Amino acid sequence: MIKNIALSTLLLISTFVLAQNTAMSGAEAKAFVTKVSSETKEIKTLQADFTQTKKMDFLDKSIVTYGKMSLKTPNMLSWKYTKPYQYSIVFKDNKIFINDQGKKSSVDAKSKTFEKINKLIVGSSNGQMFNDPEFSVTYLKNANFNIAKFTPKSAQLLKYIKQIELSFPKGQSTVSQVNMTEASGDTTNIVFKNTKINAPIAASEFSL
């Protein structure tokens, strides 16, 4: 029994160590940015299923939602939540279009949280995210991912967002995971799967 406990503890420690992020060297960061910027220039459309996990201080349980993300360059992006409720949000023509279970509305795209995630994701499809003047970027790595950590430069934006991390599987140039920490300490994790690049996307995906 003691042997099994010791082995389990060792495995947990090994897993923790392997998952630790370390800073990229200057050469590694330059090579990573060059690769992503070059390869993503060919992306015209991108689709993926996603799982979003929201952790909030005042809730004991995380809020988990599922849906589909669709992107079309240069600036069209939609999030369609399908479970456990139906909710759509489309970024198009510098506006946000919302369909909340049949109730439709539109507002200027000035949200300080989700709009910034969208801006970085759109930027990740054309290599422009690393040049966003609103953020400073730190490059990290671990056994499985290359990570770009974006920290707001302005005190105004820091009132809403503490940091956003985009994770790229080793050898790949598209984002597979987003982690955002808000100033309040609440966190949002978005994991993408079944990603399709340059497949046709119906116009209806960007309409409500």
The span from the CA of 27 to the CA of 171, in Å, is 16
Residue 5, domain member (yes or no): no
Residue 94, domain member (yes or no): yes
Residue 122, domain member (yes or no): yes
The residue whose two tokens read 């510098």 is 94
Q: Structural domain tally of the chain?
A: 1
DSSP, residue by residue, 36-83: HHHHHTT-SEEEEEEEEEEE-TT-SS-EEEEEEEEEETTTEEEEEEEE
Domain that holds residue 53: 21-206
Q: Residues 165-201, buried b or exposed e (16+ Cβ, 10 A)?
A: bbbbeeeebbbbbbbbebeeebbbbbebeebebeeeb
Q: What is the pLDDT of residues 102-131, one digit of tens each?
A: 888 887 655 556 667 777 777 776 677 888
- Kindly report the pTM of this predicted structure: 0.82
CATH number, domain containing residue 202: 2.50.20.10
Can you give the pLDDT at residue 74? 82
Confidence band for 189, pLDDT divided at 50, 70 and 90: very high
Residue 57, domain member (yes or no): yes
Residue 34, domain member (yes or no): yes
Residue 30, domain member (yes or no): yes
Residue 197, domain member (yes or no): yes
Q: What is the pLDDT of residues 47-60, one digit of tens each?
A: 999 999 999 988 88
